[in-house]
Chain A
């Protein structure tokens, strides 16, 4: 059945008209009578223990409706997609692990009053030595960000006998690579509104996963999941950066505490400074082939700086370990991928999830290998490309829809139309 009536047709997108007319409602556009505004007080130190938070002056400021600290959380004071290691609000006696950790929330009649109140909160912190380099963080004598150590996860791939296979290789390419921390830069900074409807907490928010948000709100507010309603507001991009909780739980806490509708909008600065980032990677790759260019062995180590909290870190490093040999069949594989805590901003999901980093490395390797062998970049890839029946590094047999060879051919043919390509 190839004669589809709707599939494969570029129909008008269902949200096109409202966006083009500018009538789509983003969270910042949502208004309710009596609505107040929330702001977050954040840590200025990267590593320490919170000794005290004095909210007296802030609470006394006219126009301030509520000031909340870590003592005011009815349920669990933790959140996180994979590991619940992030504090909702750092509590007295608890650890601060990065600049920007939330310490207190203010709700006030206007945004300006809320910001003024933040400046009146007095915080005392016992500062601890910090570590910002993931390689240093892995050493035994590094400052411990967590009791159990700074290496959060190690993902190993083992297939065949790498040592034996490298000994049989005609050509070996060994190279170190590094990639930088990157920002999603979605056009809409984080924003949301919360409101009580009877005993239901409703939160409108820009998000990539409303059901996850609802679960976190229920845990932190200690209410039934069926009493939380998260409605995704029209969302101005995410690219992985709106998978983590930003304003959701804070909004819920303030709405319950004040019983008034409450809105939070991050400035661009607050968004970039506190949202998750693309993991910077430190990689070492070793690829070996026979004299014809057929890959025989591949070895890699990857260190990903996940910053102060796990977020999607272990998932990112696992995905990078699975993909680091590229779309090629290699019978002997050894990979070690480390997710490492530092006192840097936390890294999490970002479009590509660890694969853009490793693709930069494995594709550089393929070109270096091709040059050593005197074959074209196209040929080295065609020799090694996965095909139906190939086995991946995880020992998975690929059966259908293995289109890598078709993309190599299509891209080359496309390039020949407009480039002087001599492959």
Chain B
């Protein structure tokens, strides 16, 4: 007989190394034609950090994503960004890139403010333009103050030039001998953990997640089939939503393999499963429909509120599958993986 069950599991995950300094650096060069070079030590291993860091630079500088080129992970030219691990690069290198972009931007914003006759705080960068903040962007007081200033200068309030292109602004800077370069580095606000009590501040921020899994258990064979997965992940802010979904789906696949089939067998120190005929991984046939839900509870210290998702994606899956198996057939497996043999043995004990 095949019996279905539903299981839930949650997780939390501290972003970055535990109670240790783990800084990242970045350089940003806003070039003459308005294109941008980002130099970062961050290694993109397929997770998409290069794209996320380019997005952060583009947003901060007010250029298009296509204007940004990222040179990454070359110790001859890029600053140290630490490891692509601990789900840390979006948060830590993201902040470093943003800070570097802010520093480069400050040079052109100053020139724009001078050209437009406003304060630097009134300039916003977007769509390759530096624009005076519109009324809806700032408090009424500021608008009134600006109007007063304009009247004092003999200008008509609200009718003067409101924007200048980034390229023109860069040209103004270069005419004065100013380069628009920035560097930034970020280290999360943590403390070490006390050796006796473990008390301290191990991480600056945490990701959270809950997954709900439906399984079908064959009571004659003990085989567990995962029918569907719903995965809700609090990532702070999704810099690239499709990439976050990709991380969640990939994580669920790894979590499913960890729950049901993957096991490195070691005999007297020798790896007995050193190929893919004996080390069995899930295939597309094993991975069910996955409903990815992105929850955004922004982190005050994250770049645009972002935290991380790389590792959280897989953490609740095995636990949720174990709880679903119990819900289906009343068998609680307490040692992974949940193989058919283990399920069947416990089902037979139940009688």
Contacts and interface: CB of A to CB of B under 8 A. Distances in A.
A169 to B, nearest CB: 21
Interface string A212-246: 11100000000000001111100111111011000
Given A214-B75, A356-B314, A404 B336 contact: no
A232 B275 contact: no
Contacts of A321: 198
B314 A269 contact: no
Contact of A181 (B13, B43, B45, B266): B266
B9 to A, nearest CB: 4
Q: How large is the interface on A (under 10, 10 to 19, 20 to 34, 35 or more residues)?
A: 35 or more
Contact of A360 (B85, B322, B326): B322
A378 B127 CA distance: 45
A363 B297 contact: no
Interface in B191-236: 193, 195-203, 205-206, 208-212, 214, 228, 230-234, 236
Interface string A197-209: 0001010001111
Interface residues of B, number: 122
Contacts of A230: 74-75
A403 B208 contact: yes
Given A272-B271, A408-B210, A207 B196 contact: no
Contacts, number: 373
Interface stretch (B54-62, B113-121, B155-163): B54-62
A415 B269 CA distance: 43
A5 interface: yes
Contacts of B51: 11, 13-15
A399 B299 CA distance: 9
B172 interface: no
Nearest to B323: A367
A102 interface: no
A11 B240 contact: yes
Interface stretch (A29-37, A70-78, A85-93, A322-330): A322-330
Interface in B26-82: 41, 43-46, 48, 50-51, 54-56, 58-59, 62, 64-65, 70, 72-76, 80-82
A359 interface: yes
B336 A179 contact: yes
Nearest to B56: A7
Nearest to A175: B334
B127 A10 contact: no
A8 interface: yes
Contacts of A5: 58-59, 62, 126-127
B317 to A, nearest CB: 8
Interface string A178-209: 11111101000000000000001010001111
Interface in B144-192: none
Interface stretch (A50-58, A59-67, A114-122, A155-163): A155-163
A415 B11 contact: no
A208 B334 contact: no
Contact of B10 (A98, A175, A272, A327): A327
Interface string A234-278: 011111101100000000000000000000000011001100011
A12 to B, nearest CB: 8
Interface in B246-282: 251, 254-255, 257-258, 262-264, 266, 268-271, 273-276, 279, 281
B231 A232 contact: no
B27 to A, nearest CB: 14
B112 interface: no
A313 interface: no
Interface in A377-423: 377-378, 381, 385-386, 393-396, 398-404, 406-408, 410-412, 414-415, 417-421, 423
B85 A414 contact: no
B8 interface: yes
Contact of A364 (B56, B279, B293, B334): B334
B313 to A, nearest CB: 8
A363 B198 contact: no
B229 to A, nearest CB: 9
Given A232-B72, A401-B299, A411-B212, A178 B335 contact: yes
Nearest to A423: B8
B45 A237 contact: yes
A377 B8 contact: yes
A410 B254 contact: no
A148 B64 CA distance: 57
A209 B310 contact: no
Contacts of A168: none
A6 B255 CA distance: 31
8 contacts: A178-B336, A232-B43, A277-B264, A353-B86, A367-B323, A396-B202, A400-B297, A414-B212
Given A99-B269, A401-B206, 11 more contacts: A180-B337, A232-B74, A272-B271, A326-B10, A327-B10, A363-B320, A367-B8, A386-B12, A402-B297, A408-B232, A412-B212
Q: Which 5 A/B pairs are nearest by Cβ-Cβ distance?
A: A403-B234, A46-B269, A157-B198, A403-B297, A363-B319
